[in-house]
Amino acid sequence: MNINLAIAERARAGEALTVAEIDELGASDILSLGMLADEVRRARVGESVTFTRVLELSGALGASGALGASGAEVRITFLPNTFDETEGLIAEARMLAGPQLLTGFSLADIADRHWGKLVDILKRLKRAGLDAIAEAPVDRLHDAEDALRACDAAGLPVRCLSLQSPIEGDGRSSWLIHLRDLVKKFPAIDTVNPLSREQSIAVPTTGYEDVRAVALARLVLPSVKTIQVDWAQYGPKLAQVALTFGANDLDRVSTVDDESLGRRRTSVEDVKRNITAAGFTPVERAAG
């Protein structure tokens, strides 16, 4: 189905699309949708694609893990069972990270621990040395607006709004409108990852569905500068195509490489090569 020209013009103008309009865009021809999203993306954010090198800390920390990670974001991916353990983990990670950006955790995981009033817990995490929350999976938060307001009050920014589980049926349009409302209320959040962290075993998504989700996020969220794809999770093939469907940022580029493969096969060089091949200019995202 061809794209409705009136809806396309509203998307180009950054107007607030309705659920019906988003549904109609979602049912349109995938190539036409991609071309429109790419046009809008270039008009809004230019032809640069950012990428973020991330040193992930998932358990016991060791100084050797920081080798080659200078200037990268240091991200804690493991949330301990107790708050005391979490404070200790942040303190240890802070020593390892030094002046580098230290992020960590899912906001939903922290809220689910019920360690106390969320804003107070977030303030203590900041005092322990955490610079930012890595992501807020909006579909997992009981009250996303309240949780994000707690982050604001604690002075602990959220790096990315994300999706934990695949959206079934016709729920994607409503989810995108919910995201649009949130970023309007919290304009400091400028990054959205529209692809789910988890995959349905029974009904896994296809590459077509994934790039369609990226394109719709670009068209429905005009105030969001950065539409992000997880390089480590989705891989170079889908990531490269997603760049031509409205994405402009690749997250979780590894800081660890097999040097025996040579410099041209390192993660950073691979990312740069894929970005360039898609017709864009690679720029490493400042970890700060």
Span 226-241, mean pLDDT?
94
Read off the tokens for 27.
């049912």
Is pLDDT of 176 > 90? yes
The dihedral through the CA atoms of 87, 89, 95, 99 has a sign that is negative
Distance CA 42, CA 6 (A): 20
Distance CA 113, CA 106 (A): 11
150 forms beta bridges with none
Closest CA to 163 of 122, 120, 213: 213
* Confidence label for 70 from pLDDT (cuts 50, 70 and 90): confident
From the CB of residue 129, how many other CB atoms can be counted at a distance below 10 Å?
17
* Confidence label for 60 from pLDDT (cuts 50, 70 and 90): low
Span 85-101, mean pLDDT?
94
Residue 273 vs residue 60, higher pLDDT: 273
Which parts of 71-135 fold into alpha helices (H)? 83-97, 107-113, 118-128
CB 196 within 8 A of CB 167: yes
pLDDT, position 287:
67
Strands 249-254 and 281-284: unpaired
pLDDT, position 179:
97
Strands, E assignment, 43-167: 48-57, 73-76, 102-106, 132-137, 161-162
Distance CA 141, CA 30 (A): 31
Span 235-260, mean pLDDT?
87
* Confidence label for 169 from pLDDT (cuts 50, 70 and 90): low
Residue 285 vs residue 31, higher pLDDT: 31
Q: What is the pTM of this model?
A: 0.92
